[in-house]
Each structure stands twice: as structure tokens, then as C-alpha cells.
Structure 1
Amino acid sequence: MKKMKNWLLTGLFFMIVSTVFSQGKVTGTITDGTGSLPGANVQIKGSSTATSTDFDGKFTLNSTTSVGEIVISYLGYENQTVKFSVSNGATTNLGTIVLTSNSNELSEIVVKSTVVDIAKDRKTPVAVSTIKAAEIQEKLGTQEFPEILRNTPSVYVTKSGGGFGDSRINIRGFNQNNIAVMINGMPVNDMENGSVYWSNWAGLSDVTSAMQVQRGLGSSKLATPSVGGTINIVTKSSDKKEGGSFSSGFGNGRNFKVQGSYNTGKLENGLSASVLLSHTMGDGYVDGTAFDGSNYFIALGYSTKNDKHDFQLTVTGAPQWHNQRSTASTIAVYQQYGSLDRPNIRYNADTGYLNGEEYNIRKNYYHKPIASFNWDYKINETTKLSSVLYASMGRGAGASATGGIKGKGYNDVLAFRNPDGSINYDKIVAYNSGQTVTIGGLTGPQTRQRIGGLFQNSSYFSGANTDYNANTSINTSGISQTSSINSHDWYGAVINLNKKLSSTLTLDFGLDARTYTGYHFTVVNDLLGGDEYFDNFVASQKPAGRHITTTYPTDVQWNVFDKKSYEKVSFNSTGKVRWYGAFTQLEYSKNDLTAFVQGAISQQGFKREDNFVYLPTDPLSSTDYENILGGNVKGGANYNLNEKHNVYVNAGYYSRQPFFNSVYPNNRSTVNPNLTNEKIIGFEAGYGFRSRFFNATVNVYNTNWNDRYLKGNALPAGGGIVANTTYTEFTGLNEVHSGIEFEGYSNITDKFKVNAMFSYGIWEYKGNATVNAYYQADNTPVTGYTAATVYMDKVKVGDAAQMTASLGASYEVLTRVTVDANYNYNDKLYAGLSPVNFTSPTNKGALELPSYGLFDAGFSYKMLTGKNKDKSVNFRLNINNLFDKIYIAESRTNIFADDNVSSTNPALGTYASNGRLYNGVANANQVFFGFGRTWNFSLRYDF
């Protein structure tokens, strides 16, 4: 008996020793055939042992068994299983493992949801480009979030005025109001006008795991406004591996950013958590565009042990304020404060000084957090239910100037300018408070008059207006700072049931519901020396009007649940939008053929409430819902000819409801009698080539957009019209967008990689349209621009380059030391629409701006740290526009070189004959220049 016990103990001892010494390490490198895949999930099958690849795509796993399998997953790629064997205490290197682009699985729980429509390479028949988190983290630097897409075919990005978060993006010639932006399957375009304000999402670059740009109709099952394309953003989730990072960065313009994050990883009880906090600030590249912003991200997750249920709660927000450059000055003004050859591209006609400190009357301040709850329920092996509930409360405004002084606005080119072009806000305060001042453009000293013993400001330029108090003296309006509040409450849900009908057929069916309330009114921020603000826009209080002394600071509202009470002026309306939708998709997949047909229907209801324009007893003070039906149908197929070649085709039709301001034009509650849905017909075909050393995709497309409603640029100054005081509306506008796109990349060697892009579009208007122009202050029509015919046939669509190309390369000069460079070229760029140029059938068309190319460069170094070299310190330097190229990014006007400098005196000659050209462009055009050379450096510690 004793011998048996000894044998048992000896056997048990050897088993323990065998187990201990069978532990070994498994290493390898994950790539997509062209480059490393940082953040890929690597897990030993049947165990909880897992890790993620580092910046170089490398991983190390500690195995407790001598043989097994590892499972590798990454967004947009097929999951891959690799067998391994490891000797006792040894290390097995699996070498380079190449993933195949063909899957939407991701180690992060949110992408398991069928609500998130991720396109799959060589399967989903759409034109798509995927931007990895590592590229965003490395190359974005101090650029705006959309700018990471500038090397994507048919994408044009401009910083617009240059304020923090004021950039805009076009895809295939369509602006971002007509591009669907989705975050974890949630639509985030404004429900009233389709807008996307990137300053509200300034923190997205910090929390994005991957971003997909689907050009054209896209793969989203929802009835989204994806005329030009869809930007799918997948954020981080809570169940990443345990660890975190801390980073700090700085750049020109005293730009500074600090960020920290931590993930618990998936705990044994199924819980997980992730948190990220960051803060950024700076003076801005453009004069007077200081900014300050924060970002927070919190994700909590839970998954059951049987993997039937996955829950994810995510809250993220980016409260910020930033000063703006809203005035597009003429080229001549930029030259005036620079030189003829080198205009002062930083010049800002809105900024100046007040009490010795920099002051800008144009300021944006906003906080728009979004919370989502994702639930994925695996009912059985063939059925899955995915749901997302979300809510967003936006609080904030854009501050600007209202009123004038004897017909002069705050940004008048002469009235209040210092010799350096900055605004003398002290002079405005002096005049408003009754002091005698000299105002450029007016003769002699100027002194304002009291009204009722007070210096009274209002929204009028000169005090003479039919809505103004009849007893007041003329020329006493004054200038004030006011804010246009645009807050909202938004709630929504998307539910999708995914059913595998057979080995080849999969059916999706879902519901999409949203409700939105937008609050629009104006408040007074600063009387700038005045005693009170007179407002006479409330119908129930005319003709006496109201005398207001309460002012409100331009501070960011962190507590979005606080619905503050304001004393409102000028206008006060509430817009309500209800959205009910249903969608379905049937997908066929067998061997090398994948095909789908998809349909969606939605009913949007629009309701307007206004107790300023209308008396409480007027039925128009609160309208009924104007319900409009819309929807889409689309389909496509992809066929893999072999392992290297594939072809695809898709087509679709959209009947899209108009935006809120088209249903209720001119800020009134009367429904547009000519209301009609916009009709979009799209067709696309493509070819793909995939190999070990070279990947390429070629697409051709054609999109017809009929019955478009467009809010256009302001009328140019002149003929009694002050610059930037009007807006225009086009109706009956038809467009045709067609083109070809190429995208390719190659790993010449393991260390040397090249990427390239080319796109050429033909984007033109078709037929004629009608335009109306209104004054911004009170929405009254501009004489001569009421239902005017504009001749648009064959006119080029403006605001985006119709030919783009880029060529980039990176080279690992030493181990983990990489240099990279990229050249981006833009041509066939046309100015925005100005209706005065198209009132004649013999118009000159759209003004073509000079082409330009930008060269960017970067340097990266990664230093491994820690006992196991599993931590790292990362250095990154970005230099954008290395050669300091001066270029016009956009123009608000269409003034040609051979146009007369005077419409009333042709004898004065043309801009060309007078030498008033810059790079071939008439210097009277109102433009925004792009940024010159900028740089940023960052240091990040990953642990």
C-alpha cells in the first residue's frame, strides 16, 4: 500500500513538473500582406489567454500547453486559425501570418453587432477604404479628424475658415450634409439639415478603432443620406486587453494635447471597462482662433459565459470652445496685410483687440455627448438579434455680431480697422457708450444719441427698419455680440434581426426610430458698452418692443441636462422631427459569388413651433407634423474570378425627404408649396486585384441627383448689399456626378511600402434652376432675387477638387525607425455658387481655381521597454505642407479675370487689365487659403 502511494505521488509530481515545463512562448507577426496590423486580437483557442499585436504587428503569448491553436481576428479581415507546437521552456516563432480581407469581425464587442454595416473586401460590392486606428493615431497629429481621409479617392477636405473643428469634407462632389456619418451603427447627421459639425466630435480621433469610407450608396441598411458616401466610425470598446497609454503632444500655434487611457480587459466574471480622457488647447494657426477642448470616453461591457449575450454601454463627449474666422476676405485684403506675392493667409477679419487683449466676436461653444447601449443576443446558431439605443443632448451656440453703426458692420473693411487689419473693438465700445469717435468711411467725428436716456443697441444696421421702434432716432443701432443657440435633444433606436436561412442565404430585417427636438433662438452676450438691447421681433409685444439688459456668457455648458432659461431676442423657434423606418436585406453567398438586395422605407414628420413671429392664437405658432414618405432600394453583386481578381457592380435608387429648412423655408411656418423629394439614382462598378506584394482597386460610378434643394453662398458685396449679410436658396437643381477612381498599395520590401490614389470626376449641373435670396437678419427677400432663373446647365459643381491624386511611401531605415512622406495633388477645383454669375444664359460658368499639391512628411521611433519588452515608448513627428505652399482651398465668389472691375463703369477695364490678379485669379474673390507649414510632435507610452 505504501509503495502504491509513493508511485501515485511520484506520478503526480511528474505530471506537475511536465505541466510546468511545458510552458513556452508563441510569437509571430500579423500583416495584411502590405503592412503590419497593430491591435489585432490573438487568442489561444479554448483558453482565456489572449493579447493584441503591437505597433509592428508583433505578438507574444505564454502557452501552458505544448500544442494548440491560435485564433487571429481584425476588423475587415477573415479570422484565421494557426496551429502551433512549443517545446518545454522554448519559444516558437510562427513567422509572418497574412490575414485575408474578407470579414467584419473584430476583437471589440461593438463590431459583433449586425447594426454596424462594415463592408467586406472581395465580398461587399461597394467602393471602400479602411483607415486603421494606428494610422489615425500616428499621422493625424494636430489636423482635423476628416483630414486623415484626404488621400482617399474622390475625397476633398478643407479647413474652411480654419477654426478648431471647422473643417468640412466632400465625397464625389457631395458635401457632408449628403454624406452619412455613422458611429457604431448610429446615424449622427443633424436631423434638421444633415450637417456634421466636426468640432462636436473633436475627440473621435482618440477613441476610433477603425474608420471605413464607403463611397457611393454604401452598405448601410438604414435610409441614411448617403448620396456621396458613408463614413463608418467604430469606436473602442471595453473588452480590449488589459493596459493603457499616456501621451502628450505639442505643435506650432502653441498647440498642446495630453491624453490618458486604461482598459481593464475582460475579467473572469464577464465584466470589462475602458476609460479615456484628453485635453487640448492652442492659439490656432489662423490669427485669433484660440481654442480649448476636452474629450471623455467611458465604456462598460458585460458578456455571459455562454456568449449568448453581449452588452456594451458607451458614453463619449467633447466639450469645446473655439474662436472662428467666419469672414472670407477678398484676396486683395489678404495681400494688403501681407504682400502681392505672399498674401497673409493667417489674416482673420473677425479678430482684434479689446482692453488690450485679443478678442474675437465670432466664437463657437458646444457640448454634444452621445450615449449608446448595445445588446447583441445570439438566439441560436442561425439567429442573432442586435440592438442599439442611443441618446444625444447638444448644448451650445455660435456667437457673432449683430447690428451696425451708421450702416457699418463690425467687420467693415474700413470702419473699425487698425493699420494691421485687426478690429478695434475698443472703438466700437467707445461709440456704443456715447464717446465721439472717427469711423472709417464716414465724414467727421461720430457720436451716437441716447434713446430714453440710454445708449440702445439693436439688430439693425442704422436703426431704420419697419420692425424698429418708430419713435427712435436714426443711426443709433450699435453693435452687440449675440449667440445663435442651436441645442437639441435626440433619442433613437436601431434593431436588427439577422437570420441565416440556409448555407447560402441570410436575411436581415430591422427597425429604425428617432425623435429630435431642436431649440433655436438668440441671446445677448455682450452689449459692448451699450446700456440695453432693444428687440421688437415678438409679435405679441409689438409695437412697444422689449428693453433687455440681461447678458449670457459664451461658456461651454458641461451639464447638458440643465435646460437653462434664457431671455431670447430676434427669433425663437423649435423644430421637431420624427423618424420611423424599416429595412431589410437578403444576401446570397456561395463560393466566389456574393449578391444582395436591400430596401428601406422611412416616414419623416416635421413640426415647427414659433412664438416670436406668430401670436399665440395664430395656428401657425405650432404646426401639425408634415409627414413625408421616403426610402431606397439597392442591390449589387461581387464575383471573385480567382484568388487575385474580383469584379463587382451595384445600383440603387433613393427617394430622400427634404431637410427641415426646405419644408419650412425662410424661417416661417408655412409649408413649402413646391415640396418634393430629392431623387438619387446611382450606379457603380469595380475591379479588384489582390496579391502578396500589390493590391489595387478601380471603380467607375455615375450618380444622378434630381430636385435638389441647396442653401447657397451669400451675395457678393455691392449695390447696397453688405458682404456676408445674405443667403441664397436654390430649388429644382439637378446634378450628374460621374468618375473613375484608383487606389493601390504595395510592399516593395518588408521595410519599403508605397501607396497611391487617383480620382477623376465630371460633376456638373443639369438644366436650369430657381434662386431666392434673403437677408440673414430678418429673412426679408433681396430685391431682384425672388424666384429668379439661373442657367446652370453644364456648370461645374464647386467646393471640391474634381481631380485628386496622391503618392506616399514609408521606409523602415532602422529597426522600429520609420520615415514616411506623401504628396497630395488637387485640380479641377471650382468656386462655390454665386447666383449673380448665372442669371444670364451666356454666363461664364464656375470659376476654376489654381491647382495645388501638398507634401507631408513624418518620422516615427518605437522603443521597447519593460522586463518582457511588452511596453513601449513611441515618438512621432509630423510636418504638413512641408514646403509651405500657399494655395486657395475654396472661394465663395465667381469673379473672373476678364470681368470688369466696375459694373457701372466698363471704361475702368477688367481685373486682368488692371493687374489685379493673384495666380491668375481676380483679387476681388472672397476666399479661404489653406494652412501653410505646420508641425506637431507626440510622445506616447503604451503599457
Structure 2
Amino acid sequence: MKTVLFAISLLVFGFTINGQNFTLSGTVSQNQLKLEDALVYAKGTSYSTQTNEVGYYELKLPPGNYQIVFAFGNTKTVEVNLNESKTVDVDLARAVESLEEVSVQAVRVDADSPITHSNFSKTEIAKRNLGQDIPILMKFLPSVVSTSDAGNGVGYTSIRVRGSDNSRVNVTINGIPYNDQESQGTFWVNLQDFASSTENIQLQRGVGTSTNGSGAFGASVNILTDKYSKEAYAEYNTSYGSFNTWRNNIKFSTGLLNDHFEISGRLSKIESDGYVDRASSDLKSYFLQANYTDDNTLIKALVFGGNEVTYQSWFGVDRETLETDRTFNPAGQFTDEDGNIQFYDNEVDNYSQDHYQLHWNQTLNKNWSSNISLNYTYGRGYFEQFVEDADLSFHEIEPVEVGNETIENSDLIRRRWLDNDYYVVNANINYTDDEWDFTAGAFGSLYDGDHFGEVIWSRFAGNSLIRDRYYNGNGTKREFTTFAKATWRIDDQWQIYGDVQGRFVNFEMSGLTSDKVNLVVDESFEFFNPKAGITFRANQNHQLYFSFGRAHREPRRQDFENGITQAERLDDFELGWRFQTANSSINTNVYYMKYEDQLVLTGALDDVGNPIRETSGQSYRLGLEVEGQFKLSEKVSIQPNIALSTNKNQDFVAPLNGELVNLGDTNISFSPEIVAGNQLSFQPIPEFQINFLSKYVGEQYMGNIDSAASKLDDFFVNDLNLVYRLKNISVFDEIVFTGLINNVFDAEYESNGYFFFFESADENGNPTTVEGAGFYPQAGVNVLIGASFRF
């Protein structure tokens, strides 16, 4: 490792390249008023400046393509191809940056909003995008904890924000809900290489603004896919790294044809063996987009999706195995006829998902704009499992007579299927002028999902046929949402925000579950979710905000299976301060999230790895979040963040040693009291950047009874990221080399786990509580290197 670091240091200081700089200049105004001290900077670089007393700015940059950000409360981003000195004048009066943004305008907020949020730009995503899933790329954002079943960020991954699990983070793609409608989970593994087709991501923490789909109970993640490109290009990206991890994709754009039409797309393939034994991934995906644009209209038709085949690795390991064999994976384990332990080679998830979206964004006049979106998602796939000595009657196979023996149990292979359709209609309209920003809309969706199991092989099959089904079930979910929200800019200092939403949800379920329990559900929910806030800009550098938001959330399918029919309620209070100068910015907020009937994770998993939940009654989360960005010099900058919190179930009752015990206030599961991150960036020359990224996550309990057996240790992980760009090399417009050393100091850590406890009896027949835990080990030092070639 010392040799590697020494070589890197030689590489850093060995470059001596002299390049010609061009000047980007112009004025920044708002409603024709010239703005003094507006911030102007190039995303992903240390180049920045401020406007003078007449709104004029001047920025010297090397040749290249840049995303230039103009910020003065509101922000606007302009793409500039700097091949000569240019003048760009900007007016910040409109909050919406472009027609591209109209698709997500209803679920997003701007820089002056009293909603706590962070933005993750395409430039930042590209630095580390070497095939790992979006939760891993987002792990350095405030209050975010990411984990990977396979241990290396490829395959099944998940995200928690403010301690809220993956199913409680609302995710939308171009304003269309992505969370599974029954489980409410976000299966990022079905968005294979999606970061390569992402324009930007906004993370709203807490309730956030009104969004589509199930309510945000910890955060919402709003993804905007690639903008259309005015210029034609072709691009090939490749990367390789530890655990035989490969990522290859090709991207293209026709550029604007006849100044109106563009077609772009991507094909990707990712393969990895995983850090954990047999935790392999085979991920294929595509993205195809057609655009029509003119001065007032943007119509986007998108088709994207893919197929994932991942070997199961959700079992984890117990504490003893963690010490002796960290990568052990019990999935697929069975004993053969000779008593030898074997592992079934196809204990996999095999799932395909295709999305069809149509967005019509229209500017009606200088004040009004509208969006109409249609979506159809088709998902189908199965979990394949080898079952040793299975009950034949359970699988609808009659006992088999062999000689004088009646065979009632047999080894078999089964598949549990999910086949679903999801339809969405979404429409909203926006009015903006010097004082008002008003948006109203309606959302309707229908989900229809079939659940069934089939046996594809049995050692003793009787009269059964391949793929005979042993259970069938169906789940249907209908949702209608309407909302209206407005921002009133009273003057240059004060603005008021209001937001009301009505959600109407109906669940119908019938047939058998995978445990062959008859599930009959017909439940409807009506939710009213008000939100309000106020922002005060003391001067050009300081801004204060306060907001209140209420959200409700319906139970999910598994909750109904466990007899839970009560909806949850969350009241979220946020108080924040924002500070911004040309060389620094600080965002600080205090939050108090008060829950009624919160469904918290028990720590236990069901038989396919899904977390089991229970109602905790009264509970709360109280925290402080701070994030900053500081330019220390022309070449060095840092981006630290920290979240401190206390997360409590109040008067929590649990069955212990044969009786119900009131444990008082206990810690909410999977809710660390401290989460911190930092990015240190060094850019010795414009073409070369070094990023050193750090993440600390404090200890946390995996259950709600504060048991020492359920404790997940704290961890501190550091990554090293190198990016080197070459411009106009031979036939290439750009070549980018990227290196990523994950966990550079080889820390041994576990980012996730599970905990269970149940009532039993000791040797004397006295009631006792049995506890156990499992852990998901993450990879030690591992490397990904990549290259991008753009024509």
C-alpha cells in the first residue's frame, strides 16, 4: 500500500501541463435587477467567482464542457462548451431551470425552499460511477447509511436516511414512483447502471414536499434522467476491479436533428463475483430516449429496464462465523446422499423490469407551464430455492409409493414468482411570476401483482408436472392523489410556503401467501397531508427557514400478513440556517419527527430476507444535521457533513421471559446517533482531481429492546478517488480515466444485520428469552478502475 500511495503522489506532482484559458463573462440579474455578490462556479471544479456591484462576473477556465452554476437563493445551471471566450447573461427570476425540470417540478424544491435537501449532480455522480449501485454512490450525503448484501456495492444494495429503512424512502424517477407498490421497498438492483443515465438526484430529508406514491417517512429521492443533448456523441465506458467486477456500457446521442429531434440511449452489462461467497451478479440493462423540443414544448418518450440474476446473500453470518469465515454464505446449502455439504448453484433471484414513460412538458406563456406523464411498468421474475427434505403435501404433490414405503418428503427445487403491472397517469400545472410560484396536480395509479409458486424439480414427483403451482395469490393497489402548493415571495427577504395533499389508497388482496395462508384484504385509506414553511433571507449570505409537514403511510403487504392494518402518521418540524459566500457554504438544520404508530423494524427477517416490522406506538427522532463546502485554496476544497440524533420508542413493551415488560424509552432499531462524512478534493491541474472520501457511522441497535446481542458496531471507512481527463486526443473529444480504491485502510466492518428473539423454556421448564443476531460483512480494501472514451 505504501508503494501505491508513493506512486500516486509522484503522479499527482509529476504533471506539468500548460493550457490556454478562456474567459467566461456576463451579467446575473433577477427580474432585470442586476445582482451583486451572486455566486458563479463551474460544477466539479474549484473555479468560482462573484458578481460585482453591477452584476458582472468574469471566470477564466481551460477549454472544455462545463456546467456553470449561478446562485443567489435560486440557482440556475447552464451548460457551456468553452472553446473560445464567451459571454453568458443569466436571469434568475424563474425557479424552473428548463423544460426538462418540469417533469420533476411538482416533487422537487429550489434553493430557497424551507425543505431540508441536498442535490447530487451529474458531475459528482460521474466521479465514482464505475458500476456500483446508486445507494453506494449516495453514501457520503448527510444522514445516509448504505449497505450491500454482496459486500462490494454491486447487486442487492439499500439505503437508510435518518434511520428510516429502504421501504420508507420515497423514490421517484422523473416524478413517477419507483418503490414497489406492495412491499414499498426500493429494489435498486433493478436499476442496473442507472447512474449512467441520471442527470441529477435530489435528496429531501424528512417529510419533504408532496410527492407521488407512498409517503416519505425518512426521506425522498427524486431522480431526473438524462437531458437531451444538442450535440451528437458516442461514448464507451469500461471498468474492472476486485472480485472480478466488470462494467461495460455504450451511450450515444444523435444530437438535435433539424433543431427539434434527438434520440439517445445506453446498453450496459455488469458482472461481479461479489465479496461474499457466491454473491454473484449478472446485470443487463438498457435506456432509450426520444425527444422533441422547440421553444415551448418538450416531449420525451423513454424506455428503460433490464434483467438481474443475483445469487442470494441475505442470510448474513453469526458473530462466531464473522470471526472465522467472514465471507461464508449459507444460501443454497444442502447435504447430499453421501452426507457431504453441497451448495445449490442456482439459488438466485432472476427478475426483469421494463419501464415505459411519456412526458409532455409545455410552456403555455411566460407564467404558465404544464406537464402530463404516462407510465407503464412490467415486472416479472422469481426466487429459485433448493429445499431439502420438503413436505410434498405442502407443495401439492401426493405421497409417492416406493415398494412398501410411502414417501411424504423429498428434496425439491421451487420458484416463488412475482408478475406485476403498474400504470400511472400524472399531470400538473405551474404558475410563476415575480411574487408567486404555484403548482397543482393530480396523480392516479393502478398496480396488479400476481404471486405464485411452482416446483420445477423434485426427487420424488409422483404424478405432478413441472411448474405445477402450489400457491396462487393476487394483490391490487389503487391510488389517487391530488395536491396544491404555493410559494409567496413577499419581498426580497420573506417568502411563505404552503402545501396540501390528499391521498386515497385502496388495497385488495386474495389467494394464498407463500406460507399457504389465505390472505383476504380490502382496506381503504384516506390521508390529508398539510405542509407549511417560511424562509427569511437576512442578507445575501444568510438564510433561515422553518417548516412543518405531516405525512401518513399505509401498511404494506407483509404487514397485512402479520395482522397490522393501522396506518402511520408523522409530524415533522424542521428549523434551518443556510450560509453562502463565493468560497464556502453551510447548511444546518434541527429536526423533530414525531410518530404515531410507527412501524419499526424488529430486526428479524422473513424466509426470503424481507425485514419484519412491528408497531411501536409513540416514538420520535430528534437530530442536528450540518453540511458544508469550503474552498480552502484554488486547488483544495472540502465537503464535510455530520448528523447527530436521538431516536426513541416511548414506553416500549416487549415479551421477555414469559411476560410483557414495559422497557420505557428504547432506541429505535437501525438508528445510529452519529453519521458523518467528508470529501477532500485536490485539483493540482485542471485535468486531474483527487478525492478522499470518509464515512463514519456510529453504533446502532438492530432491535428495539436495547439488547447487547443486537448491537452493530460503529465503523469508519475511507475511499480514494482519482479522475484524470484528456481533451481532444486523436479521434476522441475526451478520455477520462477513473480510479476508486474503496476502504483504502482495509477496515473490517459490518454495515447491516438482523436480530431476533423468541420465548422458549430452560431445562427446568421456566420461560426464557432466546436471542440471536446475524451480520453482513463488507469488503476490505478493493479497487475499481475505469476509462471513458467520448467521440
Shift of 1:75: 14
The answer to whether the aligner puts 1:690 opposite 2:541 as a matched pair is: no
Shift of 1:253: 1.1
Contact 1:763 1:796 in 2 (8 A): yes
Alignment of 1:66-145 (within 5 A): 78-79=75-76, 91-92=84-85, 105-106=96-97, 109-113=99-103, 115-121=105-111, 123-145=112-134
The answer to whether the aligner puts 1:579 opposite 2:482 as a matched pair is: no
- CA–CA distance in 2 between the matches of 1:224 and 1:314? 23
From 397, 412, 416, the counterpart of 1:480 = 412
Shift of 1:771: 8.1
Give the match for residue 797 of structure 1: 668
Which deviates more, 504-513 or 178-187? Answer: 504-513
1:488 and 1:725, CA in 2 relative to 1: closer, same or farther beyond 3 A? closer
The answer to whether the aligner puts 1:495 opposite 2:436 as a matched pair is: no
Give the match for residue 49 of structure 1: none
Give the match for residue 557 of structure 1: none
Instruction: Give a deviation string over 1:870-912, Cα, whole Å, max 9, x none.
Output: 81111111000011111122231279xxx9x995499xxx99x
The answer to whether the aligner puts 1:513 opposite 2:440 as a matched pair is: no
Alignment of 1:23-34 (within 5 A): 28=24
Contact 2:452 2:514 in 1 (8 A): no
- CA–CA distance in 1 between the matches of 2:774 and 2:68? 57
SS of equivalent residue, structure 2 residue 181: coil
Instruction: Give a deviation string over 1:137-184, Cα, whole Å, max 9, x none.
Output: 221424321012211111111113548431111111111211110111
Give the match for residue 18 of structure 2: none
- CA–CA distance in 2 between the matches of 1:881 and 1:179? 26
- CA–CA distance in 2 between the matches of 1:872 and 1:281? 26
Alignment of 1:152-167 (within 5 A): 152-160=141-149, 162=151, 164-167=154-157
SS of equivalent residue, structure 1 residue 349: coil
Contact 2:209 2:531 in 1 (8 A): no
SS of equivalent residue, structure 2 residue 127: helix
Instruction: Give a deviation string over 1:704-757, Cα, whole Å, max 9, x none.
Output: 1211345644489xxxxxx98998552353321110001011111221111111
Give the match for residue 716 of structure 2: 853
Contact 2:229 2:253 in 1 (8 A): yes
1:284 and 1:265, CA in 2 relative to 1: closer, same or farther beyond 3 A? same
From 321, 329, 350, the counterpart of 1:348 = 329
- CA–CA distance in 2 between the matches of 1:725 and 1:743? 34
From 608, 632, 650, the counterpart of 1:748 = 632
- CA–CA distance in 1 between the matches of 2:655 and 2:449? 27
Instruction: Give a deviation string over 1:778-820, Cα, whole Å, max 9, x none.
Output: xxxxxx99xx856453211222433111232121234412222
Give the match for residue 48 of structure 1: none
Shift of 1:91: 4.9
Shift of 1:225: 1.7
Shift of 1:102: 9.4
1:91 and 1:79, CA in 2 relative to 1: closer, same or farther beyond 3 A? same
SS of equivalent residue, structure 1 residue 568: strand
Give the match for residue 864 of structure 1: 727
Give the match for residue 935 of structure 1: 783
Contact 1:165 1:197 in 2 (8 A): no
SS of equivalent residue, structure 2 residue 698: strand
Alignment of 1:402-413 (within 5 A): 402-404=387-389
Shift of 1:481: 2.4
From 183, 188, 193, the counterpart of 1:193 = 183
Which deviates more, 681-690 or 234-243? Answer: 234-243
* 1:141 alignment partner AA: L
Give the match for residue 592 of structure 1: 493
From 511, 533, 536, the counterpart of 1:636 = 533
From 856, 871, 876, the counterpart of 2:738 = 876
Give the match for residue 509 of structure 2: 608
Instruction: Give a deviation string over 1:466-523, Cα, whole Å, max 9, x none.
Output: x9869997885233222221221000011112134x6412332211100000111112
Give the match for residue 5 of structure 2: none
Give the match for residue 454 of structure 2: 523
Give the match for residue 425 of structure 1: none
SS of equivalent residue, structure 1 residue 550: coil
Contact 1:295 1:319 in 2 (8 A): yes
Contact 1:496 1:510 in 2 (8 A): yes
- CA–CA distance in 1 between the matches of 2:473 and 2:482? 30
From 619, 643, 646, the counterpart of 1:762 = 646
SS of equivalent residue, structure 1 residue 532: coil
1:105 and 1:491, CA in 2 relative to 1: closer, same or farther beyond 3 A? same
- CA–CA distance in 2 between the matches of 1:521 and 1:283? 29
- CA–CA distance in 2 between the matches of 1:661 and 1:604? 17
The answer to whether the aligner puts 1:703 opposite 2:593 as a matched pair is: yes
- CA–CA distance in 1 between the matches of 2:787 and 2:129? 14
Instruction: Give a deviation string over 1:661-718, Cα, whole Å, max 9, x none.
Output: 43x434xxxxx6x7332111110011011011111111110111211345644489xx
- CA–CA distance in 2 between the matches of 1:261 and 1:726? 35
1:274 and 1:803, CA in 2 relative to 1: closer, same or farther beyond 3 A? same
SS of equivalent residue, structure 2 residue 617: strand
Give the match for residue 379 of structure 1: 364
Gapped runs of 5+ residues in structure 2?
A: 1-20, 27-37, 48-58
Contact 2:240 2:247 in 1 (8 A): yes
The answer to whether the aligner puts 1:831 opposite 2:702 as a matched pair is: yes
Shift of 1:59: 4.2
Give the match for residue 253 of structure 1: 243
* 1:884 alignment partner AA: D
Gapped runs of 5+ residues in structure 1?
A: 1-24, 41-52, 62-69, 339-343, 406-455, 534-546, 552-566, 667-671, 717-722, 773-783, 912-921
- CA–CA distance in 2 between the matches of 1:161 and 1:91? 48
Instruction: Give a deviation string over 1:86-110, Cα, whole Å, max 9, x none.
Output: 9xxx95366xx99999976456x43
Shift of 1:245: 1.3
- CA–CA distance in 1 between the matches of 2:520 and 2:333? 43
- CA–CA distance in 1 between the matches of 2:461 and 2:599? 39
- CA–CA distance in 2 between the matches of 1:928 and 1:621? 33
- CA–CA distance in 2 between the matches of 1:753 and 1:102? 30
SS of equivalent residue, structure 1 residue 287: coil
Contact 2:373 2:426 in 1 (8 A): yes
RMSD: 4.3
Task: From the CA coordinates, give the structure whose radius of gyration is larger.
Answer: 1
The answer to whether the aligner puts 1:207 opposite 2:187 as a matched pair is: no
SS of equivalent residue, structure 2 residue 362: strand
Contact 1:765 1:792 in 2 (8 A): no
1:264 and 1:592, CA in 2 relative to 1: closer, same or farther beyond 3 A? farther
- CA–CA distance in 1 between the matches of 2:443 and 2:469? 35
- CA–CA distance in 1 between the matches of 2:212 and 2:581? 34
- CA–CA distance in 1 between the matches of 2:611 and 2:695? 33
Contact 1:182 1:232 in 2 (8 A): yes
1:346 and 1:698, CA in 2 relative to 1: closer, same or farther beyond 3 A? same
SS of equivalent residue, structure 1 residue 136: helix
1:605 and 1:471, CA in 2 relative to 1: closer, same or farther beyond 3 A? farther
1:32 and 1:219, CA in 2 relative to 1: closer, same or farther beyond 3 A? farther
Contact 1:78 1:99 in 2 (8 A): no
Give the match for residue 680 of structure 1: 570
Shift of 1:831: 1.8
- CA–CA distance in 2 between the matches of 1:532 and 1:713? 37
**Taking structure 1 as the reference length, what is the TM-score of the superposition?**
0.71
From 348, 353, 356, the counterpart of 1:363 = 348
1:119 and 1:474, CA in 2 relative to 1: closer, same or farther beyond 3 A? farther
SS of equivalent residue, structure 1 residue 206: helix
